[in-house]
Each structure stands twice: as C-alpha cells, then as structure tokens.
Amino acid sequence: MSDITKQSLSELVENIKGKKLSSSEVTKAFVERSEKSKELNAYITEDYANALNKAKKFDEKPNLDLKLPGIPMAVKDLFCTRDLRTTAGSKILNNFVPTYESTVTQNIWNEGAILMGKLNCDEFAMGSSNETSFFGNVQNPIDKNLVPGGSSGGSSSAVAAQLTPITIGTDTGGSIRQPASFTGTVGLKPTYGSCSRYGIVAFASSLDQAGPMAQNVKDCALLQEVISTYDEKDSTSIDFKRNEYGKELTKDIKGKKIGIPKEYRVDGMPKEIEDLWKKGIEYAKDCGAEIIDISLPHTNYALPTYYIVAPAEASSNLARYDGVKYGFRAEGENLIDMYEKTRSEGFGAEVQRRIMIGTYVLSSGYYDAYYLKAQKVRKLIKNDFDDAYKKVDAILTPSTPSSAFKIGEKTNDPVSMYLNDIFTVPVNLAGLPGISIPAGHDAKGYPLGLQIIGKAFDEQNILNIAYAMEEKINFKNNITDWWIK
Amino acid sequence: MSKTKSEYLINRHDNQYEVVIGLEVHAQVTSESKLFSTSATKFGAEPNTQVSLVDAAFPGMLPVINEYCVKQAIKTGIGLKAKINKRSVFDRKNYFYADLPQGYQISQFKDPIVGEGKVILDMPDGHKEVGIERLHLEQDAGKSIHDLDPKNTFVDLNRSGVALMEIVSKPDLRSPDEVNAYIKKLRSIMRYLGTCDGNMQEGSLRADVNVSVRKKGSKEFGTRCEIKNVNSIKFMQMAIEYEANRQVDLIEEGQTIDQETRLFDTKKNETRSMRSKEDAHDYRYFPDPDLLPLEVSDDFIENLKSEIPELPDEKKKRFIEKFKLSPYEANILVSDIETSNYFENVIKKSDVKLATNWIIGELFAALNEKNLEITESPISAGNLSKLINLIKDGTISGKIAKTVFEQMMEGDKDPQKIVEEKGLKQESDPKALEALIDKVIDDNRDKATEYKSGKVKLFGFFVGQVMKVSGGKANPQLVNEILKKKL
C-alpha cells in the first residue's frame, strides 16, 4: 500500500486500467498520506469522504477507457468547484461555495478523476511564496520552514510530497513554474488561450493561464492533454489544433534549435544558477539539440511591465468582491463604509498593495505614463520572442534566480519577492508556453529548475525537449517525510 | 431680431442668449438576451429572475459578446448614415455601486462600434441636420430600490448587463422643440430598424442632456452642465428650459457657470447639482482583457445593409413623389413604422387621397380618444380600405361613412355588412329620387315659387329636405341634378 503514493500518474493509470489497483485503493492511499501531512498545510479544504465515496462508485462501474480513470486529485483553490468551497486563499471568499464548475476541472472529472480537496495558494494568486494566503503558510516538503514557492504553493507542495499524484495550478507571472522549481517538480504554463479561464478566480485576465503540475514530464503531458480545450465561454480561448500531448510525447529532439538568451544572465545571479544553466545546455546538446545564442533585448523591462499590467487588471477584477452579493461582508454605517470595511478586512496586505498599484496606474493623468506605456513595452517583449523564434525552436533559461527561500525571509521586501519572477514573467507577457523541470540541487540540497520556453501553441515541442532532457538529468528529489510523525 | 420665427432665444435686459444642447441617448437594444450573457431581457419580470452568474459577477465568470446586439448596433449606425468601425474595443468603466456587480461597466470608450453620422429633422422652417458623434455598445446596470425599507437598499439585477446603445449627438440642438424632434426622429429610425422599441415608460430610451448658453452670435461654447438620466421628452424640454434660464441668470449676475452633473427634479421642475467636475469619478477606463477587440468584416456589414428597410426620410420622399402627398401628410404618415405600414396596406386597394384624409383625420382622432396605438386600432387596414371604396363608388355618402366608421370602431366589422344590415346604402336610382323630390316640391309649393322668382338661396333648403326625407341616403350629386331640372 505505501508504494501507491510513490507511483507516477502514468503508473497509477496503467495499474488501474490493468485492474492491479482499484480507484478506492489509490484514493485511500493518497487520502491517508494527505491526512498524515497536515503540517504541510497544503490543503485549504479537504473533501476526503466524498472522494472515497466517488472512488467506490467508480470501482462499482469502472470506465477504464478514460484518461484519468478513478485517479484522485487535489486542485489549486483558485478553480471553482461545484458544491465545494472555493476561497482563492482569501478571507473575502472564506464562505464561498460555487454552484458551477470551472471548465478545466470539469475536463478533468470528465476523464474520470476524483476531487480530493482544494490546495492552498497565495491570496488571489498574488505572491511567490504562498505566504499571502489567508489560510497560512505552506511548508515545502524539501525542508522545514522553506517556502514551496507561489502562488501555486499548495499544489507544488502536495505533488512533491505525493499527497496527490498530479495537480493543476495557475500561472500569471510564474505561479506554476517557480513553485515547481522550488519543489523539484514539473510545471507547465500553456500558451495563453490554451486552457479555458472560465470558472477560475481571475487575477490578471490577460496573463492568467491554468496548467499541469506533476512529478515528471510524461504525467504533465497527459494532464495537459486533458485540460486544454477550446471553450466558447472564454472569449480569449483559442481554437487551434491540440495535440494528444501524452501520446505524441517523444525524446527524439535531434536537430532542434535551442536559444540561449544572453539577457537572462542577470546581475547578482548566484553562480549555482549559472552552473545549472550551463549543465542544462550540455544536457540539451547530449540530446542532439543545437544551441544558438540569441538576444531578447527588452527582458529588463519585463518585470516592471508585469507589475503595472497585472495589478491594473487585478484592481478591476477584484472590484466584484464588495460584500454585496457573496463572500465576506463587514457591516457598515452606509454603502461606502460597508465597502471600505469589507475590503480592508477581507483582503490581505499584498492584495491591497496590488489593488492600490493597479488603481494608481489606471488613474487619469497616470494612465498614459504607466498602463499605456507598459502595454507598448509588452508588445516589444513579444516582438523579441517572435524575432528569436525565426532562429530557434525553443529557449532554455533557469526557472528562478535562486532556490527556495525561508518562510518569512522576503515578506518585508516585496521588491525582492517580485524579483523571483524575473525569468518567468516575460513568458506570460508574450502569452507563450513555458515548462519548468527539475535539473539539479544547490549547495543546500534544494532543487533548482530549468525553464524551456516554446512558440505559441507549441506545447508538444517543449514537452518533448523536457522529456528528453529529463532522462539525461535523471533528477532525484530528496524528500525525507520529515513532517510525518 | 430673429432670423426665423422658430428661433429659440432667451432675452435678459439687452442680451439675447442662444441655448446649445447635445444629447447622450441611451437606447436599449431590442434583443432576447443580454449583451454578454444569455439571460432574458423581458421588461417587468419578477426582481432577480433574469440574472445569470455572469450578470451577478460571480468569481471566474466571463463575458461573451452577443452577436445579435452587435448587428443591432451596426444596423442603427447604418440608419444614422454613420461610419461603421470595423474594429472596436470594449473597455471597463470602473466604479463601485451596489447595482453594478462587476464593479465596472463594460462599455466602449476610445474605439466605438459606430462613428460620425447624422439625423435630419423636419422643423417648421425647414430641414435641420443634427450631427451624430458616435454610437457605442455598453451594459446597463441593475436597479437600486431605496424606498422599500427605511434602512436597507434592495437591488434588482434583471437589467444588469442588458445591452444599451449610447448615441451621442454633436452640440447641434438649439431649442427644446429641436430636442423633441430629434428624440422622435431617432426613436422612429430605431423602430423602423427594429433595434430599439423606444419605450420611454419602460426605460428603453433615456438621455443625458448637455446644456450650455452663449450670447447670440458668439462662436464660443459656454460651460456646459449635464443633466443625467431624463426619461421623457417633456421632462427633457422642461429641464432644458429651467437649466438654460438658470445659466443665463448666473451670467447676467456676473457669475460663472460650474461644469457639473445635475439632476432634474420632476416634482419641483428644477435641476439640482449632483456632483461638480472636481468630484467627477475617475473611471479608470482600460480595454477589457476578458474580451478581444471586436472585428467585423465588410461582408458582415454589407449583409446587414441589405436587411435595412426603407427608413422614414426615404419613405417620406417616396410618399410625396409617388402618392402626391403634401410634406405635412407624408411626415405624419411616416413618423412611425406601424402608421406607414397601415397606410400602405389601406392604399393597396383604395384611393390614396381619401385614405390619407381618413387616416390622418377620423382614424387618428378616434384612436386618440380611445387612447389606442395604431397597432391596436379596432379597424383593420383592410376594412378601412373597404369603407373608402364604398365612398368612392358612391355606395354611401361621406356623411353616412362617418356613421359606418363609428360602428366599425366598436369592433372590426366589415363596412359592407354594416351598410347592408342597417340599410345605409345610398339611394342612386333616379326614378326613386324623382319621386322623392316631387313629393318635397309638392309639400313646399310656396318655397318653390319663391325659388323660381329668383330666391336661389332656397336651393339648399330643398337639398336638405330631400336628404332628410331619404334618411341621409340620397345620392347628393343626383339630388342636385334632379332638383335643378324640377325646380
């Protein structure tokens, strides 16, 4: 039994399809491990009893043709789940139970998966360490008091600690790739428009994208195949030909041209990261790829651009949490008083900071200088990638400028926290797919990730490169189960 | 002083002031469902029964444009002879209010779907062209109800997300009468197109009225005040008169006018300050990232053009040219699509001149009296047409026709049947009439002698007597002829 949670998604699917394991056995194993792992605080809402019931029902009449037959799964608490509380990590949605299901999670249940619970995340996905969650810090299973990254920190922690065989997160500026990198797991941010945003609590609409987080590339590809669908309910969803990413996965990347952007050698980058990147280049070469130096000249402007565009959209997206219709309400003397008290008490400090930044950059008199200019720079950043992709098929960079940091280390220094997203943010601004794979450890033994950035809609290609490199890297996560007494 | 009689000027001491008016009309798009959701839009439904998760702004809900509303806006633009923008952008207008669930209204700010156009008004002293600045699509808000509870406000979201067209005129209007004509014309065009029902009682048509004054002859515009959300033409006119006079008084007292938003108090008949320019909201407009720019092709627009019916201006021209109607008659008959349809149905099988007179005269008066719309007329176009034919072919006289018409107003009865049942058929048999006339002359020998001795005025007396004896049924023309011979 204890072996079950160590199995990858692909193995579990194979074992259930081969009737070697039942959904109940698998679900029970993950539920038990999740229950023993409360110290990680990966879950906001647990739904174990329902999960076990659903597993039982599945076993009574198993549909083994499905892609995720009876597979239990916890998901980031930013996805609205019918009849199960959805908080977005915020007090303001503490009591919110949706009557509807997000398209992405619906796609997952349609393939036979079973919801185990909702995973912790930074409040409204605003954060890089999961420390802004109203429901508390999440522990990185790698080491005690280490952040799991963010905003999909509950998701990365849960996958790394094997509380769920696989999960989904959302990525607005790195929220899948950075936590994957911090926990030694694989995270894919798909092309903007690949996965429907319907039913996902919005942070920054033009950047938000759901994606899979897994223990390995193959699992990631399989889940991407399930969640990526064209959806008329999301006007920014794009109707393009989607691959069967899992089935079409190949390690043959001979002759693929991989670009190395010189602008990603940022000042003050630890040598360990530099070394990791060099190693990554060697791995890619070993796989038969051709390495080409490229330039993405506007990289420097990506972070400031992101921290204008994302808060601007967020300030407007979060206006609906006003205490009038649903969620938390603080009583007030009048409407304005009620708004002020509800939003002051209901939102945490980081969310309030971003609402203020966003409100400021959209204000008349500042709009042109900030928001409009940021949109122009965003275009330039996108053009950089377009130019680069005339020469290369994919781009290789580190995922983060450092390994995971301690809980509390950066909470009083938002700018240093924001700098964590320096390698991931340009990808969101350009709407491209990017995947982070674990590639090594730093001196402290903490995992480090490499990022492969692809052309729009070219998920298959970066998954293939990641798959090939994964084999060469042969990464092993050192997880000691220190939290299990 | 005035160029024409209809020029609207405000006189104070030795000064004459001209009033400059521009309108922002909010016209509800005729559509089964809302601008970005599939909820119904029926008027008068129970509160909060036509609200989707999108309308109530639940987390993760996304707007999806209703193509029909886009078509309606483009059609309206075509009707306003306006430039259709093949690319337009939806923006968010951010502000907090209890009946605005998203915390922003989706509207079009920089790039509206329709650009410049024009509307032609028929004023007593000729045509007047009013420029259209733009037309854009936007969401309506919900409704806050403050008077159901002493402490709480109730919110009805049925209207939340309903599609509106905001039609912005240039500051080309100069009098309350022109505003009246403008609104009526706009309404007429949209009703012809089927893009807005123009029902002001139900709030389908409301306007923000921008008013400023300036000394006659001045080229500069004065400082304007915006009177928000006026929902009847009468109130618009009253508000303009009040507001223009208020501004003139201020100027005459040497004061300046503050640019501000005002409300019209329909009970006190005055405008009141709502908020000054300094207090104006900063709406933080920015393109809605949930929606892609709206792009329409030439083919899409051309297809819509082919669906545009004949509009009032063209119809009026045709009525004048083809049917020889006077501009006055044509104006009345084309003013709304139902009237013109009724008219055209009547004249399919009957005389144009008579039909025009009967519709504009008898029918309108009778409908007015019963407070009915033309669509509710008890007399169908077909039956009115029959009545006119009975007059035309001499079966009944005009006078009898009025009696028949009154009967028809009581229910859509066939005039032929009424005439038969009541024996109202005109007597046109010369022999029968001769007998009748002989008897009348016989009974009035003395008057006949007077007539013959030159008192020709008595002819009318004899006609009257014959008609009286015949019960009004005698053919007046024949009576005249026979009487002349006999006398």
DSSP string, B220-288: S----EEEEEE-SHHHHHHHHHHHHHHHHHHHHTTPPPPPEEEEEETTTTEEEEEEESTT------EE-
Among chain B residues, the shortest Cα distance to A199 is held by B60
Q: Which of A201, A325, A362 sits opposite B56 (nearest CB)?
A: A325
Gap between the terminal Cα atoms of chain A: 18
Among chain B residues, the shortest Cα distance to A205 is held by B289
pLDDT digits (tens, 9 = 90+) for B243-268: 999 999 999 999 999 999 999 999 99
For range A409-435, the mean pLDDT: 93
Q: Which of A205, A320, A362 sits opposite B101 (nearest CB)?
A: A320
For residue A398, the distance in angstroms to the closest alpha carbon of chain B comes to 29
Is residue A279 a contact partner of residue A440, using CB atoms and an 8 Å limit?
Answer: yes
Look up the ipTM and state it. Answer: 0.96
Q: Is the pLDDT of residue A84 over 80?
A: yes
CB–CB of B59 and A320 under 8 A?
A: yes
Final residue before a domain boundary, out of A353, A379, A405:
A379
pLDDT of residue B3: 45
**Residue B134, H or E segment:** strand B126-139
Q: Where are the alpha helices (DSSP H) in A119-165?
A: 153-160
For range A27-33, the mean pLDDT: 98
CB–CB of B282 and A363 under 8 A?
A: yes
Residue A485 inside a domain? The answer is no
Q: Are residues A258 and A134 part of one domain?
A: yes
Q: Are residues A305 and A423 part of one domain?
A: no
pLDDT digits (tens, 9 = 90+) for A222-255: 999 999 999 999 999 999 999 999 999 999 999 9
Question: B70 contacts in A (CB within 8 Å)?
Answer: none
What six digits make up the tokens of B334? 């084309």
pLDDT of residue B400: 85
- CATH assignment of B430-486, among 1.10.10.410, 1.10.1300.10, 1.20.1070.10, 3.40.50.300: 1.10.10.410
Over chain A, what is the mean pLDDT?
97
**Probe site for chain A from B37, B62, B278 (most A CB atoms < 10 A):** B62
Q: Rounded CA gap, A322 and A342, in Å?
A: 7
pLDDT of residue B5: 55
Q: Which residues of A are catalytic?
A: 76, 151, 175
Q: Are residues A413 and A375 part of one domain?
A: no
What six digits make up the tokens of B33? 């469902």
CB–CB of B59 and A98 under 8 A?
A: yes
Q: Are residues A327 and A448 part of one domain?
A: no
**Residue A17, H or E segment:** helix A9-17
Q: Are residues A313 and A292 part of one domain?
A: no
Three-state SS for B458?
Answer: helix
Q: Are residues A426 and A335 part of one domain?
A: no
Final residue before a domain boundary, out of A352, A379, A406:
A379
Domain of residue A258, CATH code: 3.90.1300.10
Over chain B, what is the mean pLDDT?
92
Confidence of residue B2 (pLDDT cuts 50, 70, 90): very low
Q: Which of B64, B102, B284 sits opposite A235 (nearest CB)?
A: B64
Question: B97 contacts in A (CB within 8 Å)?
Answer: 335
Q: Is the pLDDT of residue A34 over 50?
A: yes
Domain ranges of chain B: 9-304, 310-422, 430-486
Question: Structurally, how many domains does chain A consist of?
Answer: 2
For residue A10, the distance in angstroms to the closest alpha carbon of chain B comes to 31
Q: Which of B53, B60, B101 sits opposite A102 (nearest CB)?
A: B60
Cβ burial of A336 (10 Å; 0-12, 13-18, 19+) is: exposed
pLDDT digits (tens, 9 = 90+) for B359-389: 999 999 999 999 999 999 999 999 999 999 9
Three-state SS for B126?
Answer: strand
Cβ burial of B256 (10 Å; 0-12, 13-18, 19+) is: exposed
Q: Are residues A249 and A226 part of one domain?
A: yes
Place of tokens 């720019």: B293
Q: Which residues make Cβ contacts (< 8 Å) with residue A274, sequence separation at least 6?
A: A265
pLDDT of residue B397: 82
Q: Which of B155, B282, B290 sits opposite A205 (nearest CB)?
A: B290
For range A275-298, the mean pLDDT: 97
* 3-state percent helix, strand, coil for chain B, nearest multiple of 5: 40, 20, 40
Q: Are residues A421 and A306 part of one domain?
A: no
Residue A478 inside a domain? The answer is no
Q: How many CA atoms lie within 13 A of B421 on its CB side?
A: 8
Q: Are residues A332 and A254 part of one domain?
A: no
Final residue before a domain boundary, out of A320, A348, A379:
A379
Q: Is the pLDDT of residue A75 over 80?
A: yes
CB–CB of A198 and B60 under 8 A?
A: yes
Q: CA angle, A28 as apex, A25 and A30 as ends, to 5°?
A: 110
Cis ω on the peptide bond leading into residue A151 (within 30° of 0)? yes
- Pairing between β-strand B126-139 and β-strand B117-123 as defined by DSSP bridges: antiparallel
Cα-based distances in Å from B377 to B332, B342, B367, B370: 17, 10, 7, 10
For range B274-285, the mean pLDDT: 86
A347 reaches B (C-beta below 8 A)? no
For residue A189, the distance in angstroms to the closest alpha carbon of chain B comes to 19
pLDDT of residue B45: 94
Confidence of residue B6 (pLDDT cuts 50, 70, 90): low
Question: A99 contacts in B (CB within 8 Å)?
Answer: 53
For residue B63, the distance in angstroms to the closest alpha carbon of chain A comes to 7
Cβ-count burial B99-138 (b if 16+ within 10 Å, e if not): bbbbbbbbbbbebbbbbebebebbeeeeebebebbbbbbb
pLDDT digits (tens, 9 = 90+) for A433-450: 999 999 999 999 999 999
Cβ burial of A269 (10 Å; 0-12, 13-18, 19+) is: middle
CB–CB of A320 and B92 under 8 A?
A: no
Confidence of residue B347 (pLDDT cuts 50, 70, 90): very high
Q: Is the pLDDT of residue B4 over 70?
A: no
**Probe site for chain A from B99, B290, B292 (most A CB atoms < 10 A):** B290
Question: B58 contacts in A (CB within 8 Å)?
Answer: 98, 100, 325-326
Q: Is the pLDDT of residue A188 over 50?
A: yes
For range A335-355, the mean pLDDT: 97
Question: B94 contacts in A (CB within 8 Å)?
Answer: 315-316, 319, 362
Question: A324 contacts in B (CB within 8 Å)?
Answer: 98, 101, 155
Among chain B residues, the shortest Cα distance to A315 is held by B94
Cα-based distances in Å from B294 to A378, B33, B76: 21, 19, 17
Q: Which of A201, A235, A339 sits opposite B59 (nearest CB)?
A: A201
Q: Of B137, B140, B83, which is closest to residue B293 (Cα–Cα)?
A: B137
Q: Is the pLDDT of residue A453 over 70?
A: yes
Q: Are residues A371 and A282 part of one domain?
A: no
Task: Give the range of the structural domain holding residue A458, as residue numbers without chain letter.
Answer: 4-263+269-296+383-473
Gap between the terminal Cα atoms of chain B: 61
pLDDT of residue B481: 83
Q: Rounded CA gap, B378 and B412, in Å?
A: 5
Q: Are residues A274 and A354 part of one domain?
A: no
> At residue B387, what is the residue type?
L
Among chain B residues, the shortest Cα distance to A203 is held by B60
Question: A198 contacts in B (CB within 8 Å)?
Answer: 60-62
Among chain B residues, the shortest Cα distance to A363 is held by B284
Q: Which residues make Cβ contacts (< 8 Å) with residue A67, sequence separation at least 6?
A: A13, A111, A112, A222, A225, A226, A246
Q: Which of B101, B289, B292 sits opposite A313 (nearest CB)?
A: B289
Q: Rounded CA gap, A160 and A130, in Å?
A: 15
Q: Which residues make Cβ contacts (< 8 Å) with residue B161, sequence separation at least 6?
A: B34, B35, B36, B37, B39, B52, B54, B55, B139, B140
A202 reaches B (C-beta below 8 A)? yes
CB–CB of A100 and B58 under 8 A?
A: yes
A364 reaches B (C-beta below 8 A)? yes
pLDDT digits (tens, 9 = 90+) for B182-221: 999 999 999 999 999 999 999 999 999 999 999 999 999 9
Q: Which of B57, B155, B292 sits opposite A320 (nearest CB)?
A: B57
Residue A480 inside a domain? The answer is no
Residue A195 inside a domain? The answer is yes
Count the helices and strands in chain B (H runs, E runs). Answer: 16, 16
CB–CB of A98 and B62 under 8 A?
A: no
Interface of B with A (CB under 8 A): 53, 56-65, 92, 94, 96-98, 101-104, 153, 155, 282, 284-286, 289-292
The full 3-state SS of A93-111, as one line of letters, equals: HCCCCCCCCCHHHHHHHHC
For residue B151, the distance in angstroms to the closest alpha carbon of chain A comes to 9
CB–CB of A80 and B60 under 8 A?
A: yes
Q: CA angle, B170 as apex, B165 and B176 as ends, to 5°?
A: 95
Cβ-count burial A235-261 (b if 16+ within 10 Å, e if not): bbbbeeebbebbeebebebeebebbbb
pLDDT digits (tens, 9 = 90+) for B57-91: 999 999 999 999 999 999 999 999 999 999 999 99
CB–CB of A199 and B291 under 8 A?
A: no
For range A393-397, the mean pLDDT: 98
DSSP string, A192-243: TTSS--TTBPPS-TTT--EEEEESSHHHHHHHHHHH----TTSTT-------
**Probe site for chain B from A192, A316, A359 (most B CB atoms < 10 A):** A316
- Pairing between β-strand B143-145 and β-strand B126-139 as defined by DSSP bridges: unpaired
Q: Are residues A354 and A418 part of one domain?
A: no
Residue A484 inside a domain? The answer is no
